[in-house]
Structure 1
Amino acid sequence: MSFVSNYWGFFAGVMMLATGTAFFKPSIQGALALNLTKENSSVGWGLFYWVVNVGAFLGHYLPSLLLALSALLPGALHAEANSAGAWRNLFLASALFSSFNLGLLFVLRDTPTGASKTESPFAVLWRTIKGILEIRLIIWMAIMSCFWMMMYQLWDLQPNFIADWVDSRGMAESLRWLPANLYQTLVQQTTRGPMIPQQVLLSANSLFIIIGVVGVAWLTRHMRTLTAMLFGMMLATAGLLIAGLTTSAWILVFGILFFSLGEMATGPKKSEYLALIAPPGKKGLYLGYVNIPVGVGVYAGSKIAGYVYGQFGEKAGLALRYLVEKTPLGAGHNWNGDVASLEQTLGVPRTQAMLKLQEVTGLDATAATKLLWDTYDPHVHVWLPFAAIGVLAAVALWIFGRMAKKWSDMNA
């Protein structure tokens, strides 16, 4: 990924990364599960989630620093800030950070799993498929797929929404007391004035989890895992709505707090649940299943989000739509209603859409953004469908939880 610039080369790198993760993550989770008991599993999985989010929090800031600092590096690593060479250095640094795990393998004690060491790979594959075909497990994974479909929009869709619609000028102004270099790292200049970048705002999610996840894990240590997950789903859905239905950065962060509390209650508990219901010798196998809902949810969610945001949420697209529907510039143009044809219909490229809207209406960037927000309600069309998916998942988990009380092997 550091040295290719074509799609298929980069795709191959991503697939290799994903394959390595498929070996690494379930193994780590399985090793953890084998060293936890029912009494300490809640706090144990909370600590695991804490470690993950320390990396996620640092990951929001390191790219910006590394892309900028490449200009200070000597020799072959020297590159202009944000250039292709700087991105090369970023991927190389990421590979270096990942390689630190190799050293830890020499001190990590291997934990006997109780699983067969003579079973052939095909037998393991068949046993894995048979395990997935357990109907109750399929239902649970389907419910969690819906939840992750909703949940991942904070990280996949919200960055675009923040860049297009959220006004963080007040928050940026409140940081004026910081040293100049730090202020310039946390604030960027835009056509609407100084704003907090989306990655900085969204890093609040990881920060809240770092602060609170172990405490939430301790508070829910005696709670049924399915019940804790249900409360988490409801909090995360409420948080997504609060964060999505506003242009205020302060309210956005408040919504992220609710979302993060929900994630703290659901994220670690999903792994804990599978570890508790896994048959002897199958903890690693079952904890591999936990990634299936994430994969399904992310894939389906990205398809839905791409369509919904492209049709109803993208500011450039809505600017073109406003021009063709409500200004003299659109007179005489026979638009067919297809968002993809707006550029051709008007002869205005998407990259120039907001500038053209400002020119035609006489508004500045902030007022033009508010005009589109009030006219087309992008927040309603973008976030209500995903909130509905979150509510559906919560209701389904509530029903599943009530039924699981009758199943001794699924009631945890």
Structure 2
Amino acid sequence: MSNIGRTLKSFPKLFWVANTIELLERFAWYGFFMLFANYLTSSLDAGGLELSQAQKGIIMGFGTGILYFLPIITGSIADKFGYRRVLFVAFIVYTTAFIAMPLFKSFTGVFFIYLYLALGAALFKPIISATVAKTTNDSNASIGFGIFYMMVNLGAFFGPLVTLLFKNSSYTLVFYISAGIVALNFILLLFYKEPELEKNDDTLATAISKVFKNILVVLKDFKFVLFLLIVAGFWTMYNQLFFTLPVFIKQWVDTSSMFDFFAQYAPFFSENYGAGDGQMEAEFITNLDALYIIIFQIIVSAIVMKWRPLKTMMTGFLVCSIGMALTLTTQNVLYTLVAIYVFAIGEMAGSPKITEYIGRIAPPDKKALYMGYSFIPVFIGNVFAGIISGNVYQIMSDKTQFVQQEMASRGITLSEGLTQDEYFSTAAQKLDMSTSELTNFLWDKYDPSSIWKVLLFIGLFAVVALFFYDKNLRKSEAK
């Protein structure tokens, strides 16, 4: 039997149950999350809510940020009451949140139901990774976590592909599909055996108070905190893949050449992932990032395996920043596809090394503590990503804002009560243009692609800061 075969056989049944649960949860999450930005901001007659970009940024930025902050508390809850019980509660919250989501149409309503959904994700998130850690050992942990991350990316890729099939019928179906997929985990819970936990007689209040005391311990390590703040810049830029890019593609990028290609050579894709107007769905294009990772992650990991973590992160952050900036510079979908590939290469090189580096710099007696607080840059990155994709995007790149400015500057008043799409079509008629001609006119006059400078600056700042961090760190170690 080969070594890989022996390794796979060494994993207990609980390991495979946990990974299947992770696959279904990521399938359900990304099935809606990749579509969420356009759902919040699209025209009412396209099934969207017509919220502003700023409102979208608050919901997605703060809500998702909370999701990554809460696990420091929910992890303690799971340790106290048992993984299986907390997973059961998490799936109840998840399922009911997905079912209830379409019932809320206002900014306030959607914001609070999304926070409720984030609570379900926060209850879930620390448990499965902990289960994988408890069902692996030094000899098979590398492959074990490789399988775990493969499940994450498989769910992230196939989730949107399934939900996009039903988007044109109704966004409500998207949320119901996610509810149905995550509810399958109730069945898997029947096979989930509670892993052995360390005996802990602390009350829940005591456990949570220790969590916040530990935060103070971590904050005293200036070197570690500085690293986390630098990495937050990477996550701010990275999250634009979900927060900004789908909206930018929908508003500005001409995807007709891609649609025509599929219509001629692979009609399944144009028929099922076309937007109905000779264009491809924006989320179908952004979802290629996950496909690139599935195909190339092992190759990229092999190349950077022996590189120093900080060097790898600097390289990855730089490539990632260039890739994300390039996605927002053109109306040509072919350039967008290449830019997403560049972004994915940087993501594959830099992102996995963050966790590896934290494990290396953590004091021997505080490794678990430090790893547990690696959520901080993700939390901060989501909050700032919401600001960039919200207020900043609305000012610099929002087509809805631009067409309203243009009509106001010409003294043209349109009827009240028009949806976004109706307003844009009517504005085009008033200006004696087609909708595509008006889009191109706004592109040339208002330069929405200029937002690429903001994202590139954030990414480059993280790279330069990491360079000086590394330089000073090595200098201090040499003394």
Tell me which amino acid in the other structure corresponds to 2:455: F
User: Match of 1:173, SS?
Assistant: helix
With normalisation by structure 2, the TM-score equals 0.69
1:175 aligns with 2:295: no
Tell me which amino acid in the other structure corresponds to 2:154: V
Cα displacement string for residues 44-91 of structure 1 (whole angstroms, at most 9, x for unaligned residues): 6655433221111012112223567xxxxxxxxxxxx4164x355224
Contact 1:172/1:187 (<8 A) preserved: yes
Change (3 A) 1:317 1:66: closer
Match of 1:355 among 401, 425, 446: 425
The residue number in structure 1 matching 2:305 is: 221
Tell me which amino acid in the other structure corresponds to 2:447: D
Distance 1:172 1:163 in 2: 14
Aligned pairs for 1:47-58 (under 5 A) are: 47-58=147-158
Change (3 A) 1:129 1:12: farther
Cα displacement string for residues 20-57 of structure 1 (whole angstroms, at most 9, x for unaligned residues): 443543444456567576x9987766554332211110
The residue number in structure 2 matching 1:258 is: 342
1:371 aligns with 2:441: yes
Cα displacement string for residues 211-249 of structure 1 (whole angstroms, at most 9, x for unaligned residues): 111221122221111111111100001101211101011
Contact 2:359/2:371 (<8 A) preserved: yes
286-295 or 52-61, which deviates more? 286-295
User: Match of 1:177, SS?
Assistant: helix
Unpaired runs of at least 5, structure 2: 1-96
Contact 2:263/2:269 (<8 A) preserved: no
Tell me which amino acid in the other structure corresponds to 1:129: L
Contact 1:225/1:273 (<8 A) preserved: yes
The residue number in structure 1 matching 2:331 is: 247
Q: What's the RMSD between the two structures over aligned residues?
A: 3.3
Size of the aligned set, in residue pairs, is 373
> How many percent identity over aligned positions?
26
Unpaired runs of at least 5, structure 1: 69-80, 331-341
Change (3 A) 1:277 1:239: same
Aligned pairs for 1:9-408 (under 5 A) are: 11=111, 13-30=113-130, 35=136, 47-65=147-165, 81-82=169-170, 84=172, 86-87=173-174, 89-99=176-186, 102-103=189-190, 105-106=192-193, 110=196, 117=200, 120-121=206-207, 122-177=209-264, 182-190=269-277, 194-280=278-364, 282-325=366-409, 327=410, 329-330=411-412, 350-380=420-450, 382-406=451-475
Contact 1:42/1:269 (<8 A) preserved: no
Contact 1:150/1:386 (<8 A) preserved: yes
| 1:353 shift after superposition | 3.6
Cα displacement string for residues 334-363 of structure 1 (whole angstroms, at most 9, x for unaligned residues): xxxxxxxx989x998754442233213222
Contact 2:243/2:386 (<8 A) preserved: yes
| 1:400 shift after superposition | 1.3
Contact 2:164/2:174 (<8 A) preserved: no
| 1:10 shift after superposition | 5.7
Contact 1:67/1:90 (<8 A) preserved: no
Contact 1:312/1:318 (<8 A) preserved: no
252-261 or 313-322, which deviates more? 313-322
Distance 1:26 1:348 in 2: 45
Contact 1:229/1:266 (<8 A) preserved: yes
Change (3 A) 1:98 1:161: farther
More helix by percentage: 2
Change (3 A) 1:125 1:348: closer
